Amino acid sequence: MVLPVFNEEIVLARTYEELRATLEGLDADWRLLFVNDGSRDGTVGVLEQLYQNDERVGYLLLSRNFGHQAALSAGLDHADTDIVVSMDADLQHPPALLQSMLAAWRAGYDVVHARKLATVDLPKARSIATSLAYKAISRVAQVEIIEQASDYRLIDRQVLDALRTLPELGRLYRGLTPWVGFRQCIVPYVAAQRAGGTSQYGLKQLGGLFARALFDFSDVPLHVGLVLGGFAMVFSVLYLSFIMLWMLLGESRPPGWASSVSVTLVLNSVILAFLGIIGVYVARLYNEVRRRPTYLLSRVRTHEPKT
């Protein structure tokens, strides 16, 4: 299991206890790999203690906070088991679900997504905002981004290898995992409240996720520019012929101030907006082309000889 952790010192020990209790009840060998995403609290101390006390626990330290998806990448890169389950470390993802996820894998599925039906006590505004964001994304995305999929997911070794072959550095696993294909299924659950601590996903992080889903999995925004520009061109040609006809008929030229101003304003704002959109893609291209690593490790603590 891969669990990204960021400032979770309060819940970590409990997460471990509950996971251990659940996993020991399953008919499978297991290991936990925590990825500390540059926590600023006592998380590392707790991790070290868990590592000392249990052969099956390991952890990676990232050199700073790289974000949830980057931490997930680090964990997946270091996993070498037949199945990998990614999970949040705050117990919002119920360990009890592991049993059905494993059963689904045994029944032949390669990817088992856990789909959140609801979150206990999530602020109303946030649940509305997320569901709107998912609706918008599923409209334009070229892969199916499973609504409310979160990052509680079981993947088979084959899928893990497939994900590793993907060249992109900026990764959104809830888009990439459906993209790779194989046999996928969904198990629903109700997310618990955080077992302690606070959510690290502010508006900024959520906005980032939304932008990633929108721009990484869709070129619809670019096409919108083309369509609008096309319409504007047709309209301009019609309008110009009208003006020329008007002048050829010897009519006095219309005063025209309002129309020139409005044409200038509308077209320029459309052009600026789509320059902005192109800018977004260029920035993303730049980030990918530069090939800076997604994360940097400062320590690897695992009981295996070497992974």
Residue placing its CB nearer to ligand UDP in the complex, 88 or 110: 88
Q: Give the side-chain half-sphere CA count within 13 A for 196.
A: 10
Tell me the window of 86-94, 143-151, 165-173, 273-281 that interacts with Mg ion (CB under 5 A). 86-94
Tell me the window of 91-99, 149-157, 249-257, 298-306 that interacts with Mg ion (CB under 5 A). 91-99
Tell me the window of 85-93, 103-111, 177-185, 245-253 that interacts with Mg ion (CB under 5 A). 85-93
Residues 259-273 as b/e (b if ≥16 CB within 10 A, e otherwise) read eeeeeeeeeeeeeee
9 binds ligand UDP (CB under 6 A): no
Residues near 235 by beta carbon (within 8 Å), at least 6 away in sequence: none
Q: Using CB under 5 A, which of 8, 9, 77, 90 touches Mg ion?
A: 90
212 binds ligand UDP (CB under 6 A): no
151 binds Mg ion (CB under 5 A): no
* Longest Cα separation, the chain: 95
Residue placing its CB nearer to ligand UDP in the complex, 109 or 134: 134
147 binds ligand UDP (CB under 6 A): no
Six token digits for residue 271 = 């052009």
- The 54-73 contact track toward ligand UDP, x by CB under 6 A, reads -----------x-xx--x--
- The 173-202 contact track toward ligand UDP, x by CB under 6 A, reads --------------------------xxx-
Integer angstrom CA distances of residue 20 from 31, 43, 155: 10, 18, 20
Residue placing its CB nearer to ligand UDP in the complex, 88 or 216: 88
Q: What is the DSSP letter of 84?
A: E
Q: Please report, as residue ranges, which positions from 81 to 110 form the binding site for ligand UDP (by CB under 6 A).
A: 88-90, 92
Integer angstrom CA distances of residue 34 from 81, 113, 125: 15, 20, 31
Residues near 168 by beta carbon (within 8 Å), at least 6 away in sequence: 176, 216, 288
